[in-house]
Amino acid sequence: MDKTKESILNSIKKLLGIQADYKNFDTDIIIHINSVFMILNQLGIGPTQGFKIEGDTETWDDYISDGDDLESIKTYVYLKVKIVFDPALSGTVMEANKEVLRELEWRLNIHHESEK
């Protein structure tokens, strides 16, 4: 399967350890994903008019064309959603996740600035 054609919601659910057919948390996860897309938009990543999902039909290809930073964007969305939806009980794990997020934000910002 082309990884850009995969459902944004289902890929984030998979990373969170939730089966695609389990729908109980979909509304919560969609809200968090859309919040992350707003943050990415402010960083200059993604469509200039913004982007949001409403279910499991929107794909990564709908959000951004396949590029070098697509996998890092997926990781960024996953970690941001995880911190809000399923925060780590360990302070050490939480800090490690936040450090990865800071580095990804920096790298995505640098990548975006170099494309201008």
Please report which confidence band the pLDDT of residue 115 belongs to, taking 50, 70 and 90 as the band edges. Answer: confident
Q: What is the largest CA-CA distance in the chain?
A: 41
Report which DSSP code applies to 5. Answer: G
Q: Rounded to an integer, what distance in angstroms lies between the CA atom of residue 44 and that of residue 54?
A: 22
At 46-87, the pLDDT tens digits run 899 999 999 999 999 999 876 657 888 999 999 999 999 988
Q: Which domain holds residue 71?
A: 3-115
Please state the domain count of the chain: 1
Cβ-contact 9, 33 below 8 angstroms: yes
How many Cα atoms are found within 13 Å in the side-chain-facing hemisphere of 9? Answer: 21
Q: What is the pTM of this model?
A: 0.89
